[in-house]
Structure 1
């Protein structure tokens, strides 16, 4: 199921940003972009995301924004003074003129503005970052729930439509037995000099009608529709399960169509297939 979540927390004049995006996928496909300071926690981050999101194509990002004043590299005053003394001494000894712009010269010297301290992840900062991760995931799950509620409404509408279409088949189903009988009798009567056993005809007609009977298909489809509704109300990830039920619904609708030898019944089956196809298109979005 698609979703989006973001969180920002502040720690020691830093802004810790976490952003999570999810797209439809049958399995969990997690890609991460992690700020260097937090890379040692990558496995823990992956476990947190996998445990709560379960499946989907997930893009996870965590990065830091710092105040420029805080992040500026310090000037090594002792090194600047040392360079100054060396250059001045060389100038006096060799007669080479001293630079007119001392600051411009000295600040270009090696390591004068190099930031040598290695930043380490503290327990307190990781707690703040972890809080941001959990909040972003919670925001994404809220987004998913909203989308899930809209999907459930759509699914309910489509399932109701299929159920109503299934009921609309009954009048045509009852009348077709007599139509089939009349058609066969009429065909026999058009063949000259043919004498047939009416009892045998009735027996063959019953056998023929039984082959075209859709009672079992209707019952199974009704059960699948009921199960689909029940599954939508279950906790946890139900997208795959809904997909399997939709496949079974499709089998019963297709069999009903193959047994429907009336244009009116076949038209109803086509409408049921259209409703089911819309369910199948959206079921990939179901969590």
Structure 2
């Protein structure tokens, strides 16, 4: 089943200490391009997140927005700098003794001095951080993949319908082709008779030779056979369980090539009109294929 390259997913995960929020969106791209925007404190997990995404997504540009919020007290520690506090206290007592200062030395006074109370970031458990981020990322990735799959089904249905219409046009071209040769023969006969004014008897063998040469030059049998083969391969690819975007793009290019050849070989207005229809439908499929993984 084919998948679109367009999708969005959001995932959340939390424990007693922190909460992760991951938003993930993907758009069409020729290659697999993954961009991660995350807090610096999580930068060491960037490659792990990318590998997680690459396991599921083989083509397209994927942007991840990761946020981290502390919801508990586990990430910070508040500590008293005892040696420094003792030095401050000694200095204050020395001031009292030297200058006969009677003001009391209070806790609030000591706490105001620099670095008496230190706020430190607790050492983080990297494995625990990864488990939380992985959980949120997988939830977002699952929703994104579901959206890509749903849109892929719709794209496949549209392409199959257009392939059926293209097959009908090809049948019409195939049916019309022999008539073009017969009409050419009759027009050539009429033109020769008109020029000769019935003064000279028409050489049927020579006329037939000219018609055979024209039929050979204008033959589109090979192109029709290849077009039908490409349609079969295209419909078969739509049912494969792997990325087929590039394969479909190649098949559309080849089909365009065959249609252009038919157009260049034919001087018949009806076939030329069919060629225009074919090119129009192939262009619509090509636009859809640009968004298939």
> Given the two structures, how large is their TM-score scaled by the length of structure 2?
0.83
Which residue is equivalent to 1:278? 284
1:39 to 27, 37, 43: 43
Alignment of 1:84-233 (within 5 A): 85=89, 109-111=113-115, 114-192=118-196, 195=200, 196-233=202-239
Contact 1:80 1:106 in 2 (8 A): no
Separation (CA, whole Å) in 1 of partners of 2:205 and 2:113: 113
Identify unmatched segments of 5+ residues in structure 1. Answer: none
Identify unmatched segments of 5+ residues in structure 2. Answer: none
Distance 1:15 1:190, change over 3 A: same
Contact 2:17 2:73 in 1 (8 A): no
Distance 1:270 1:106, change over 3 A: farther
User: Offset at 1:110?
Assistant: 3.0
The one-character-per-residue Cα deviations of 1:147-193 (angstroms, maximum 9, x if unpaired) are: 10111011111111111111222443232222211221222223247
The one-character-per-residue Cα deviations of 1:182-227 (angstroms, maximum 9, x if unpaired) are: 2212222232477453211111211111211111111110111111
Separation (CA, whole Å) in 1 of partners of 2:101 and 2:148: 72
- Name which structure has the greater RCO, CA cutoff 8 Å, separation 6+: 2
Deviates more, 1:167-176 or 1:52-61: 167-176
Contact 1:37 1:120 in 2 (8 A): no
Separation (CA, whole Å) in 2 of partners of 1:269 and 1:142: 38
Contact 1:90 1:96 in 2 (8 A): no
Contact 2:76 2:121 in 1 (8 A): no
Q: Secondary structure at the match of 2:55?
A: helix
Q: Secondary structure at the match of 1:30?
A: strand
Which residue is equivalent to 1:269? 275
